[in-house]
Amino acid sequence: MHRLRRRTLVSFIAWLTVMVFDTGGQLTFKAAANHGGGEGMAHWRAMARKPWLGLGLLSFVVEFVAW
């Protein structure tokens, strides 16, 4: 029973980590899109200069590892 409880706890923590980092990644991508300037490539360049895009990518990498 003790082993099952520990496995359930590890699964819950992994699931919670996935949820937190997935949500964080989505929110940081949204922030990057809202802080971009101009249209077309100028918009993408402005997004790339902000930390939001990198933070979003990092969030999805952590989520993938936890998954």
The Cα-based distances of 33 to 2, 22, 62 in angstroms read 47, 17, 21
At residue 15, the pLDDT reads 92
* CA angle (33, 19, 4) in 5-degree steps: 165
pLDDT mean over 49-53 = 88
Give the start-to-end residue ranges of the domains of the chain.
Answer: 2-66
1 pLDDT tier (thresholds 50, 70, 90): low
State pTM to two decimals.
Answer: 0.73
Look at residue 37 in the predicted model and tell me its pLDDT: 72
Taking only the tens place, the pLDDT of each residue in 7-45 is 889 899 999 999 999 999 999 999 988 876 778 888 888
